[in-house]
Amino acid sequence: MSWRLLPAADFAAHAEQWKALNAATTRTPLLEPDFVQPLLECFGTGEEQLAICERHGRVVAMGIVVRKRRGAWETFQPSQSPLSLWLHDPAADLQELLASLLRALPGLPLMLGLTQRDPQLEQRPSESGQLNTADYIRTARVTLAGTFEDYWNARGKNLRSNLKKQRSKLQKEGTVPRLEAFRAPEQMAQAIADYGRLESAGWKAERGTAVHPDNAQGRFYTSMLENFARRGAACVYRYWFGEQLVATDLCIEGNGCIIVLKTTYDESVPSSLSPTLLMREECVQQLFNDQRFARLEFYGKVMDWHTRWTEEIRTMYHVNLYRWPGLLQLHRLIQNRHAQPVQPAAQTAPAAAAELAQPQTTE
């Protein structure tokens, strides 16, 4: 097998190869070029490398990787992407692929990490003397099989009762809730502007992490959703109390699933009301009734409210490949000495122990 390393800025020229490999493997909308290209344009630094592996003239792996610190490379992982940007033929041995890429990368890298892998899309690899895996987060989904009535009756009594009371309260106050869906490309800029207005009025604005049409996040979500909307695979759910927009979900669709990427709500709404939960109830009911999708994916870290909506929870993971077995053993010794669990895939093999124990963090 042989690897080519190209500037990731050249991704568009190889997007069809990437698309074909995704279609033959994970088939997830999160790794479609329509998602990847805006990620690179809005969050790339120019240091990212597009790695392409061919065997017997056929592409068997592609990934976007970047040097994270001395001796360590990993997949490009903006916080806006639930998955790392890596694809490989499941018939190819993952450890062999990573080891050959490690040798092809410039310098003498000691470790290569694949961040945020989904066991639903590919089997978690077995560990070895050079390869280990580390739990990332638990995430949830809802299988959209059967009827909404059966699904809803299986939810906890407290959830059903609470939302019923909220709807009664709105009715008594003369407030009419309304769910709408934006799907057209020309609606996406307005959807992100409104989303940003809600988020910028809340706690995320204080932390500087709110979406805004003029910041990188806003540009990414607008461009990406427009891409998906052009082929009928984007949906922005918007929930209203009368004339007041109170909640919104940013979603993409594909391969039998709808994925909620981001959610916000109006924090000025009284705490006795939960606009996001009310919106979600109506969305899920609509999804069950339409029968267009097999599952609803959340991809965020499981929160308490997720457990009220589903029992389907899985653990995502990272993969770390070390150049030599001794590096992995040494790293484990350092971690055991400090009584710290294995951290996300940006852990690096110890060229300098204090530096190499630094975990990756994503928002």
3-state secondary structure of 181: strand
Q: What is d(CA 192, CA 217) in angstroms, rounded to the nearest whole number?
A: 10
Supply the pLDDT for residue 349: 36
Q: Is the pLDDT of residue 105 over 80?
A: yes
Neighbours of 169 (CB within 10 A): 13
Largest Cα–Cα separation, the chain: 70
**Residue 172: partners with Cβ closer than 8 Å, 6 or more residues away:** none
Q: DSSP assignment of 299-332, as one string? A: -SPP-HHHHHH-SEEEEEEEEEEESSHHHHHHHH
Mean pLDDT of the chain: 91
Q: What is d(CA 190, CA 188) in angstroms, rounded to the nearest whole number?
A: 5
48 DSSP 8-state letter: -
Q: Is the pLDDT of residue 331 over 90?
A: no
3-state secondary structure of 355: helix
**Owner of token pair 């809802």:** 142
Structure tokens at 295: 């599952």
Q: Which of 67-76, 85-94, 324-333 has the lowest mean pLDDT?
A: 324-333
Please report, for residues 162, 318, 322, 324, the alpha-carbon distance to residue 103 in angstroms, rounded to integers and kept in the order given.
Answer: 57, 20, 11, 12
Supply the pLDDT for residue 200: 85
First to last CA, the chain: 36
Backbone φ, ψ for residue 179 (5° rounding): -105, 130
pLDDT digits (tens, 9 = 90+) for 11-66: 999 999 999 999 999 999 999 999 999 999 999 999 999 999 999 999 999 999 99
Q: What is d(CA 189, CA 193) in angstroms, rounded to the nearest whole number?
A: 6
Q: Which of 71, 85, 74 is nearest to 112 (CA)?
A: 74
| In the chain, % of residues over pLDDT 90 | 83
- Mean pLDDT value of segment 69-85: 95
- Mean pLDDT value of segment 71-93: 96
Q: What share of the chain is helix, strand, coil (3-state, %, to 5)?
A: 40, 30, 35
300, containing H or E segment: none
Return the amino acid letter for 92. Answer: A
Supply the pLDDT for residue 304: 94
Supply the pLDDT for residue 348: 39
pTM: 0.89
Contact assessment for residue 108 and residue 88, using Cβ atoms and an 8 Å cutoff: no
- Mean pLDDT value of segment 284-310: 96
Supply the pLDDT for residue 68: 93
Supply the pLDDT for residue 351: 35
3-state secondary structure of 202: coil
Q: How confident is the model at residue 325 (pLDDT cuts 50, 70, 90)?
A: confident
Q: How confident is the model at residue 329 (pLDDT cuts 50, 70, 90)?
A: confident
Supply the pLDDT for residue 334: 76
Please report, for residues 47, 84, 162, the alpha-carbon distance to residue 65 in angstroms, rounded to integers and kept in the order given.
Answer: 9, 9, 46
Contact assessment for residue 31 and residue 255, using Cβ atoms and an 8 Å cutoff: no
Contact assessment for residue 175 and residue 275, using Cβ atoms and an 8 Å cutoff: no
336, containing H or E segment: helix 325-337
Supply the pLDDT for residue 219: 96
Q: Which of 221, 213, 205, 211 is nearest to 260 (CA)?
A: 221
Length of the chain: 363
Backbone φ, ψ for residue 158 (5° rounding): -65, -45
Q: What is d(CA 267, CA 272) in angstroms, rounded to the nearest whole number?
A: 12
